[in-house]
Structure 1
């Protein structure tokens, strides 16, 4: 395999070339990935009669263009970086002073400086800034589209901005549906990015597993994975989900200074936004040692493994969400109250459409749809008794193929807990 010398003179390389030539990009046509994704978004816009999208979610901007810039910051401080997308124009409004980051992409026709419309940026003049922002956007859309009564998909904007756009004569609709439906189906080349992110995350998971010892805090152990992800050019970890001992049950307890005790279970969910911006999402539960796991710990682990294995086995292309819920594994009453809130979910650049609900939750929360080739699905399990004790979190990431499924997450389960 060809290697890239990070220390070589690169003064003639654009940032885009540097990103595309990173070691994890070997053999991947990232331009094809970007163009495929942009085409997906435009096709979903056309199917819904949407003339333009104004995207401010950093992950959605990255999906549509491949560009990135301070993803966490700009998502929280919207609109400070946004994309205007029509059937034939892609205009990136980049954060102040960072316009150079959007140059050179085949998915971006023009880069302009963004105008931040937030209270932090404007103080008490926020309403005037929002109205000015909306007027400038309406003028741009009228210029690009040739009319002022367009249907515009909007996301994550201030209420004042949305109100001003609607009062200006635009038909404002939600941008979530076309973008989520676009993201749901991956191309073959896109899947190479997914696999690269998973392989890097699995190496980080191996380093974390090797570092386990009683006496470490949860945060100290969690930091091992963080370091590995960043060192391999990943972006960040989206959650703080690593717990030990009694803090493993119920799930969704934030990683903290709790000291890991001898022979405790350690449960974690990766939730890694890795290289190329793709989500590596699998869960594992380990045993701290030094003794062998107890029968109770093994029973919890084997039950979670049974749930994941069963639900993986029933997934198939063409299956409806309702049929999946009906065929999914029945959660024993002992563990039902602390069940994971989903049976499975889509996965791409983050957790995404579709959500597949448990049979018991489907009447209130579920919706129907079809499991399609090209979807990546994460199958979830959390097993922990309602009356306390430890819990086990397991999860696998799969690709739906034309004929069945392909297992994407390859990190092994724990033999000592499956015996």
Structure 2
């Protein structure tokens, strides 16, 4: 392994065979098969509970959840070229980008693969309406054949002309985002095994960042180490570019740039990593460049952030209402309020998910209702800064169990 770790606890997160090899998943095929079928079943349960005949999905994360087909996910997040149609009591059909149909071979939840009919302007220009008509006619015919007389269809993302095309053929189009979010919120034991592996890969990437946290590196160079570990170990992408150092950490949300990191500066980051099997590892850590001892100010800010994390983790219990969590949550001191993070906790699965619980100063009558349930995975967040300081960003991923909670990540906090 190149370089030398100041903290041997972090060195253990690199591949046991050394830093020169990717991590190879030990997960058995049957675990993945069970997870796939569980997820598809969750979507159908939501449909049947609402008496909706079919679910039309365009969001590539929702398609991945339903079928585990991952073709061009980033590109199709802004180019609606492929979609899925899932019937509550009928077949599950994948409409794949032309010439990519074979990429769905062997996936257990897909009953039929068809070639998609893209209708977006980029692909069809001034003839887009003609393709909308063909697309809507095919969907309507399938609902007629497999919907059992139920003309209600839910969709997660549709353009207005597409909705009008379906409605003109007698379909009632409803929102499918809530269906997908609620289905995704409860993880099976097999899903959790997949998520734990993504976290393992992420923590290896974090260790790689730590290994290279020396003066002279740029923020972009440090961030690239997480990309590298994720890509070579079977992961997908990073949702953000949140790694900054020193004065760039406050205010938060600056993206990493070409600034050279200086000795003793705080390096703070948020992984937002979509890793192997499509699961998200959303973890945040902060430490000093060059492994220098923290200054008194850095120690105080870090200890405050860690206090928030530990307090709010201990609150997580099955059955607790979000409003009760808010009422009992850690209260941010006045000097940090203007530099706060906007939320205290959020769900996570194949991406950041429902629910989102605002920090107590932002929690009002518009905050969402609900309760924690066993099988939810919740990210507990902290961002602590003050006037003229750096920011400390910490985040951990926690499973709500039948009896309480369990942290899923274990990458060490700093000693303060």
Deviation, structure 1 residue 362: 1.8
Asked if 1 retains the 8 angstrom alpha-carbon contact of 2:312 and 2:330, the reply is yes
Asked if 2 retains the 8 angstrom alpha-carbon contact of 1:246 and 1:390, the reply is yes
CA–CA separation in structure 2 for the residues paired with 1:172 and 1:347: 27
**Using a 3 Å threshold, how does the CA distance of structure 1 residues 267 and 109 change in structure 2: closer, same or farther?**
same
Q: What corresponds to 1:167 in structure 2?
A: 168
Q: What corresponds to 1:310 in structure 2?
A: 311
Q: Which stretch has the larger CA shift, 35-44 or 138-147?
A: 138-147
Within the alignment, does 1:345 sit opposite 2:346 as a pair?
yes
Asked if 2 retains the 8 angstrom alpha-carbon contact of 1:376 and 1:398, the reply is yes
- Find the residue that maps to 1:139 and give its secondary structure: helix
Compute the RMSD of aligned alpha carbons: 1.4
CA–CA separation in structure 2 for the residues paired with 1:371 and 1:211: 38
CA–CA separation in structure 2 for the residues paired with 1:156 and 1:253: 29
Deviation, structure 1 residue 201: 0.9
**Using a 3 Å threshold, how does the CA distance of structure 1 residues 28 and 236 change in structure 2: closer, same or farther?**
farther
Asked if 2 retains the 8 angstrom alpha-carbon contact of 1:357 and 1:365, the reply is no
**Using a 3 Å threshold, how does the CA distance of structure 1 residues 170 and 290 change in structure 2: closer, same or farther?**
closer
Within the alignment, does 1:241 sit opposite 2:242 as a pair?
yes
Q: What corresponds to 2:398 in structure 1?
A: 398
Asked if 2 retains the 8 angstrom alpha-carbon contact of 1:28 and 1:193, the reply is no
**Using a 3 Å threshold, how does the CA distance of structure 1 residues 135 and 28 change in structure 2: closer, same or farther?**
closer
Within the alignment, does 1:127 sit opposite 2:149 as a pair?
no
Deviation, structure 1 residue 364: 4.9
CA–CA separation in structure 2 for the residues paired with 1:314 and 1:400: 10
Aligned with 1:106 (options 91, 105, 108): 108
CA–CA separation in structure 1 for the residues paired with 2:64 and 2:378: 21
Listed as ranges, the gaps of 5+ residues in structure 1 are 1-21
Within the alignment, does 1:362 sit opposite 2:371 as a pair?
no
Q: What corresponds to 1:97 in structure 2?
A: 99
Q: Deviations over 1:58-98 (max 9, x none)?
A: 111111112111110112101x1100000221000011110
Deviation, structure 1 residue 136: 2.1
CA–CA separation in structure 2 for the residues paired with 1:125 and 1:242: 44
**Using a 3 Å threshold, how does the CA distance of structure 1 residues 152 and 27 change in structure 2: closer, same or farther?**
closer
Aligned with 2:33 (options 31, 34, 37): 31
State the TM-score, normalizing by the size of structure 1: 0.91
Deviation, structure 1 residue 137: 1.4
CA–CA separation in structure 2 for the residues paired with 1:194 and 1:316: 20
CA–CA separation in structure 2 for the residues paired with 1:194 and 1:290: 30
Q: Deviations over 1:269-301 (max 9, x none)?
A: 111111111111110001003642211111111
Within the alignment, does 1:70 sit opposite 2:72 as a pair?
yes
Equivalent pairs counted in the alignment come to 392
CA–CA separation in structure 2 for the residues paired with 1:352 and 1:250: 25
CA–CA separation in structure 2 for the residues paired with 1:329 and 1:107: 43
Deviation, structure 1 residue 166: 1.9
Q: What corresponds to 1:283 in structure 2?
A: 284
Asked if 2 retains the 8 angstrom alpha-carbon contact of 1:315 and 1:404, the reply is yes
Asked if 1 retains the 8 angstrom alpha-carbon contact of 2:184 and 2:349, the reply is yes
Q: What corresponds to 1:158 in structure 2?
A: 159
Within the alignment, does 1:198 sit opposite 2:206 as a pair?
no
Deviation, structure 1 residue 202: 0.6
Structure 1 ranges of 4+ moved more than 6 A: none
Q: What corresponds to 1:15 in structure 2?
A: none
CA–CA separation in structure 2 for the residues paired with 1:292 and 1:145: 65
CA–CA separation in structure 1 for the residues paired with 2:91 and 2:120: 26
Deviation, structure 1 residue 394: 0.1
State the TM-score, normalizing by the size of structure 2: 0.92
CA–CA separation in structure 2 for the residues paired with 1:226 and 1:109: 35
Deviation, structure 1 residue 171: 1.0
CA–CA separation in structure 2 for the residues paired with 1:171 and 1:283: 43
Alignment of 1:240-259 (within 5 A): 240-259=241-260
CA–CA separation in structure 2 for the residues paired with 1:249 and 1:300: 13
Listed as ranges, the gaps of 5+ residues in structure 2 are 1-23
Alignment of 1:313-332 (within 5 A): 313-332=314-333
CA–CA separation in structure 2 for the residues paired with 1:46 and 1:255: 45
CA–CA separation in structure 2 for the residues paired with 1:409 and 1:352: 18
Deviation, structure 1 residue 306: 0.5
Q: What corresponds to 2:5 in structure 1?
A: none
Asked if 2 retains the 8 angstrom alpha-carbon contact of 1:131 and 1:160, the reply is no
Alignment of 1:370-385 (within 5 A): 370-385=371-386
